[in-house]
Amino acid sequence: MVSVNEALQILAQQVIKMPNVDVLLSRSLNHVLSADVKSKIDVPPFDNSAMDGYAFLFQPDKNSFQISQNIQAGDYSVKTILPENAARIFTGAAIPKGCDTVIQQELCTVSNGIVSFDNSQIKKGQNIRLQGSQNKNNDIIAKTGNIIRPGNIGLLASVGVTSVSVYDIPSVGIIVTGNELQQNGTTLQPGHIYNSNEPALLALLENLGIKKYASCWVRDEKELLQKKINEYLEQHDVLILSGGISAGDYDIVRETLLSAGVKELFYKVKQKPGKPLFVGKKDNKLIFALPGNPAAVITCFYLYVKPSLLSMMGYENTFLPHAVMPIANDLYVKKGLTYFMKARKLNNQLVILPGQDSFNLLPFAEADCLFAIEESIEYVPANTLVEVYNL
């Protein structure tokens, strides 16, 4: 049995990033860049007006000009504006030759085709966005390891990028075990429970942007389980199982995984919920055998599976807590295990939710985080700072 910190350290050392793939920019949201991206152009690609107004050649002793041209955004004129003339210009339009300054229309008076203004309100070069003032052609504008957010997509699209190199998304196989499980939509039989772990795990994957997955339910029969494990290990980068990993007569998952050639990284963690947790590896594939209790499944996913998947996808520092916050109430726990408590953030404190048992899913209807109580502690007074893991 290992401590929580030991388990996380082992996992962090074993995770290998996925291979690089090229994806369309329009489909790259929340991927992580695996290569720097360089701009294909200067931005702006030409000097342009930052205002609706008038473009002219600045002359300290001249404050009225004949309007000789009208330039909208998208127009481009090769005509040179003479020193005695000005061009009516709009935001984003290219600055014509012969002009070096734009005055906003609010500061101008126009009469009979003449624009006039107070020279003291304007400086040479004002209200012009110079070519390349954001970035130059071939500048790096997005670096390896950057998470692609909507703003990144806008930036990359603005320089003509259509595809990017990112870390691939892992494919995940989910095997849910247990003779007692029954699918939703059927009448619950005596001694049975509905299969909540499978839809929960699928939703957790979807929430991470992972859409390459398959899932199934298998009875507690070694031959059937062995066949499905071998099949999913061939097809997927990560395998997640739930149930059958404790020490009962029908808990056959661990021995079946070992028979499939899975190398055990650790088995059982000094924590609650989720003590009977198995993590292994075969080649570069990670295998997680989670407990069967629904709340333990979700807890272990957030603590071990999620950071591993994100790390494979190129995210950094995924195994670290997200914050440190004070708890709102006194808390007593049994020393010797790390406790992960479902909680809600309220008024900059953590409110501990009722129903912390490993079978009880009710707290997850309200929880927005888990927090940890280390195994050496049994009494935690209110306002104690604890490590927080966001859900």
Q: Print burial letters for 188-203: b (CB count within 10 Å at least 16), e (below 16).
A: eeeeeebbbbbebbbe
Asked whether residue 179 falls in the same domain as residue 275, the answer is yes
Determine the structural domain holding residue 343 and report its residue range: 323-390
What pTM was estimated for this model as a whole?
Answer: 0.90
Instruction: Mark whether 296 and 349 lie in a shared domain.
Output: no
For residue 133, the model assigns a pLDDT of: 96
- Cβ atoms of 372 and 386 within 8 Å: the answer is yes
pLDDT in tens, 17-31: 999 999 999 999 999
279 & 329 share domain: no
User: Buried (b) or exposed (e) across 52-81, using 16+ Cβ within 10 A?
Assistant: bbbbbbbeeeebebebebebeeeeeeeeeb
Is 212:173 a contact under the CB 8 Å cutoff?
no
- 325-341, pLDDT tens digit by residue? 999 999 999 999 999 99
Task: Tell me: do 177 and 292 sit in the same domain.
Answer: yes
- Considering the domain architecture, whether residues 300 and 359 belong to the same structural domain is answered as no
Report the range of poorest mean pLDDT among 12-26, 119-133, 243-257, 271-285. Answer: 243-257
The last residue of one of the domains, among 129, 157, 177, is: 129
Task: Read off the CATH number of the domain in which 33 is found.
Answer: 3.90.105.10
Residue 303: the pLDDT is: 97
Compute the C-alpha angle 359/6/261, nearest 5°. Answer: 80
Q: Are residues 290 and 174 in the same domain?
A: yes
Does 241 map to a domain? Answer: yes
Q: What's residue 374's pLDDT?
A: 94
179 & 112 share domain: no
Q: pLDDT of 281-292, one tens digit each?
A: 999 999 999 999
195 domain-assigned: yes
User: What's the pLDDT band for 378 if we cut at 50, 70, 90?
Assistant: very high
Domain for residue 135, yes or no? no
Position 139 in a domain: no
- The pLDDT mean for the chain works out to 95
Verify that 192 and 330 share a domain, yes or no: no
Number of domains in the chain: 4
What pLDDT is attached to residue 183? 87
Confidence at residue 41, expressed as pLDDT on a 0 to 100 scale:
97
Q: For residue 206, give the CATH number of its domain.
A: 3.40.980.10
* Structure tokens, 220: 């507690």
Number of C-beta neighbours around residue 324 at 10 A: 10
Residues 153 and 111 in one domain: no
335 in a structural domain: yes
- Tell me, yes or no, whether 102 and 150 share the same domain: no
Query: What CATH code is carried by the domain that includes residue 342?
Result: 2.40.340.10
CATH of the domain at 88: 2.170.190.11
Residues 252 and 180 in one domain: yes
- Domain presence at residue 137: no
Q: Please compute the mean of the pLDDT values over residues 364-384 and round it to a whole number.
A: 95
Percent of the chain with pLDDT over 90: 92
Q: Could you read off the pLDDT of 205-220 as tens digits, one per residue?
A: 999 999 999 999 999 9
Long-range (24+ apart) CB contacts under 8 A made by 318-322 are: 319/8, 319/11, 319/12, 321/372, 321/387, 321/388, 321/389, 322/369, 322/388, 322/389, 322/390
Please say which residue of 286, 312, 338 terminates a domain: 312
CA atoms of 191 and 180, how far apart (whole Å): 7
3-state SS record for 78-128: CCCCCCCEEEEECCCCECCCCCCEEEEHHHEEEECCEEEECHHHCCCCCCE
β-pairing, 37-38 vs 140-142, is antiparallel
